[in-house]
Chain A
Amino acid sequence: MRIMYINNFGGGFADHIEIEEGTTVSKLFAQKIPDGRPEDYLIRVNRLPASRDQILKEGDRITITPTKIEGAAA
């Protein structure tokens, strides 16, 4: 099954990926950001806030954006 996965963290990633049927939001999150805590991220599926146990469907667009990102000085 193919979905659009956007990770607005690290180097940034936005592309189509293959996932297994029945993959939930929390399972994908654990695969992609194993050291992260879901509560520290804004997770949207098809631009809508998603619950952890929401099952992803073919063609879905999932966006994971950290709620806090460290800035710097010049």
Chain B
Amino acid sequence: MAADIHTQLQPIDHCGRPPDSLHLLIAEIPDLQRTCSQFRQCVGQQWHLAADSKRHKLVRQLCRMDTAISKLTSDLTSRSKRLPTAHDILADLREIEEEFGEVRYDKRSKSLCTTTEPITLEGLEFGRFTICFNLSTIASNCDENPLNVIALDPNPCAADDAVVHPHVSAGHLCLGDATAPLRKATTEHRLADAFQIVAAVLRTYSADSPFCAIENWNGRPCDDCGFIANEDTSFYCEPCDKNFCEDCFSRCRDCGESMCLSCLSSCEICGDRICEDCQSLCDGCGEVACTGCLENELCPSCLEDRENEEIENDDEEIEQESTEDPSDKSQEPTSRVFTTDSTVTSVQSDRLVETSIHA
């Protein structure tokens, strides 16, 4: 097995590509030559300002080249670093076996795998995990992820079946602080270290940035906002048969029944939540209101309008009464004539108008 793995790990030089830093360096050369030529010309012509500008440009280009050279040197040095022998690989396999109890190599998928002990974090059991490294990917030294983590006894987060560990989603382990050391371990083909680093991440809960927080692991997603509410903060809405978080759930101010915000209306006057059974409509404007905000089945605004209307009507009646002098005999024939002769009534009315104008 060790010999197979050793063969498999023989480096594929950066997926067959030369390092990016080499391209950067080569791309700078024509620009540098051009600037050099312009600088010489400026100096020869004694164009001092232009020569100064070209000198500054040369410095900037040389700085960029310096950075590219350093990167290229680092890339090539890491490639030439001594990689483990078959004997080292064998020692790694023994170390993995000793640490985890087993190690498996799948020739077909070119994967080296082991299994952790059952993982328990903050009292919650996540079961065992198989850690697999694809050796082809490690050998290619690409940015591609060689790691796959599989839950053997999955206890997925209630909100997402793909999340089987606070830091594992769909087989992808988000490494956090382990990113750099694992990258270094796989680049240098230190297999036992790589497995131990991954296991250390699986055995740790980072509350700052999980795919799903442990306190919400068995919670339910709010049907409204999607927040994963735990058992204490998840509420069931009977009318719509769904679960909601505490922010999307309230109670009717009148009857006290609890429902989601979609099943409750807001009183347009006081803003309180009311259920369909307790809501009333203003007889005047038709606005939804709670019973406390309606008086004589009117909202305050319509009630005020109606009162104003009544006052106006009263005023008009008073005004009308004041213009009608009870001592004016001319009225008497009107009422009498009204029932007998319409022509006479008309005449009497004209007289009334005149009387009013004169008054």
Measured CB to CB, the residues of A under 8 A from B are: 6-14, 42, 44, 47, 63, 65-74
Interface string of B165-179 (1 = CB under 8 A from A): 011010011111110
Contact B200 A67 (CB under 8 A): yes
Contact B167 A73 (CB under 8 A): yes
The answer, among A8, A13, A72, A73, for a CB contact under 8 Å with B197, is: A8
The number of residue pairs between A and B whose CB atoms lie closer than 8 Å in the complex comes to 90
A44 to chain B, nearest CB (A): 8
Contact A69 B95 (CB under 8 A): no
Main DSSP-derived SS at the A contact region? loop
Q: Is B201 an interface residue (CB 8 A)?
A: yes
Q: Which chain A residue has the least Cβ–Cβ distance from B167?
A: A71
Q: How far is the CA of A37 from the CA of B206 in the complex (A)?
A: 19
**Of the 9-residue stretches B12-20, B180-188, B282-290, which lies at the interface with chain A?**
B180-188
Contact A12 B201 (CB under 8 A): no
In the complex with contacts A47-B192, A65-B197, A12-B91 CB distance below 8 A = no
Q: Is B128 an interface residue (CB 8 A)?
A: no
Contact B181 A72 (CB under 8 A): no
Q: Which chain A residue has the least Cβ–Cβ distance from B176?
A: A72
In the complex with contacts A69-B176, A73-B174, A12-B196 CB distance below 8 A = no
5 closest A-B pairs by CB: A71-B167, A12-B184, A12-B181, A72-B176, A70-B206
Q: Is B349 an interface residue (CB 8 A)?
A: no
A59 to chain B, nearest CB (A): 14
B175 CB contacts on chain A under 8 angstroms: 69, 71-72
Interface residues on B, range: 35 or more
Q: Is B203 an interface residue (CB 8 A)?
A: yes
The answer, among A6, A67, A71, for a CB contact under 8 Å with B193, is: A6
Q: Is B204 an interface residue (CB 8 A)?
A: yes
- Pick from A6, A13, A72 the residue with the most CB of B within 10 Å: A72
Give 9 CB contacts A-B under 8 Å: A10-B180, A65-B196, A69-B177, A70-B201, A71-B206, A72-B177, A72-B208, A73-B209, A74-B169
Q: Which chain A residue has the least Cβ–Cβ distance from B165?
A: A71
Q: Is B105 an interface residue (CB 8 A)?
A: no
A63 CB contacts on chain B under 8 angstroms: 193
Q: How far is the CA of A10 from the CA of B181 in the complex (A)?
A: 7
Contact A65 B200 (CB under 8 A): yes
Q: Is B94 an interface residue (CB 8 A)?
A: yes
Q: How far is the CA of A47 from the CA of B190 in the complex (A)?
A: 12
Contact B204 A70 (CB under 8 A): yes
A66 CB contacts on chain B under 8 angstroms: 200
